[in-house]
Amino acid sequence: MQLAHSNDRLASRMPVDSTAGGEPEVESSVIEWLLHDDQVMRECFTHAAEILKSVTGAAITAIVLLDEEYQHYRAEVGMAMPLVTRARSLADYAVRDADLFVIEDAHNDSRFGDCMLVKRHPFVRFYAAIALRAPNGEIVGALCAMDPAPGRLDAGQRGVFYHLRAMIENDLKMRTATAIDPLTQLYNRRFLLETIARRWKEARDGDVMGSVVVDVDWFKQYNDTYGHQAGDHCLRLVASVMQAAADSEHFVVGRMGGEEFGLVVLDAQRSMLEDTLETLRQGVADLAIEHRASPLGVVTVSIGASLTCISDLSRPAHRDGFASADRALYRSKHNGRNRVTMA
The model's pTM is 0.61
Average pLDDT over residues 319-338: 93
Average pLDDT over residues 91-109: 93
Q: Which residues contact 28 (CB under 8 A, 6 or more apart)?
A: 67, 243, 246, 247
Measure the CA–CA gap between 34 and 136, rounded to whole angstroms: 15
DSSP secondary structure, 120-141, as one string = STT---EEEEEEEE-TTS-EEE
Give the model confidence (pLDDT) of 242-269 as tens digits: 998 887 777 889 999 999 999 998 888 8
Q: Which of 271, 293, 292, 280 is nearest to 338 (CA)?
A: 280
25-29, 51-55, 300-304: the lowest-pLDDT one: 25-29
Measure the CA–CA gap between 328 and 343, rounded to whole angstroms: 5
In the chain, the N- to C-terminal Cα span, in Å, equals: 62
Output the CA angle 18-22-27, nearest 5 degrees.
Answer: 135
Name the H helices within 57-188: 90-94, 116-119, 155-179
Give the model confidence (pLDDT) of 210-220 as tens digits: 999 999 999 99
Tell me, what's the pLDDT at 262? Answer: 95
pLDDT of 321 strictly over 60: yes
Domains of the chain: 20-179 (3.30.450.40), 189-342 (3.30.70.270)
Average pLDDT over residues 47-54: 97
Average pLDDT over residues 169-177: 87
Average pLDDT over residues 201-207: 85
DSSP secondary structure, 179-233, as one string = HB-TTTSSB-HHHHHHHHHHHHHHPPTT-EEEEEEEEETTHHHHHHHH-HHHHHH
What b/e sequence results for 55-90 when a residue is b if at least 16 CB atoms lie within 10 Å of its CB, and e otherwise? Answer: bbbbbbbbbbbbbeeebbbbbbbbeebeebebeebb
pLDDT of 42 strictly over 90: no
Distance of CA 223 to the CA centre of its chain: 31
- Kindly indicate the confidence band of residue 319, based on its pLDDT and cuts at 50, 70 and 90: confident
Tell me, what's the pLDDT at 339? Answer: 97
Tell me, what's the pLDDT at 248? Answer: 76
Average pLDDT over residues 199-224: 91
Mean pLDDT of the chain: 86
As a whole-number percent, the residues of the chain with pLDDT over 70 amount to: 89
Radius of gyration of the chain (CA): 23
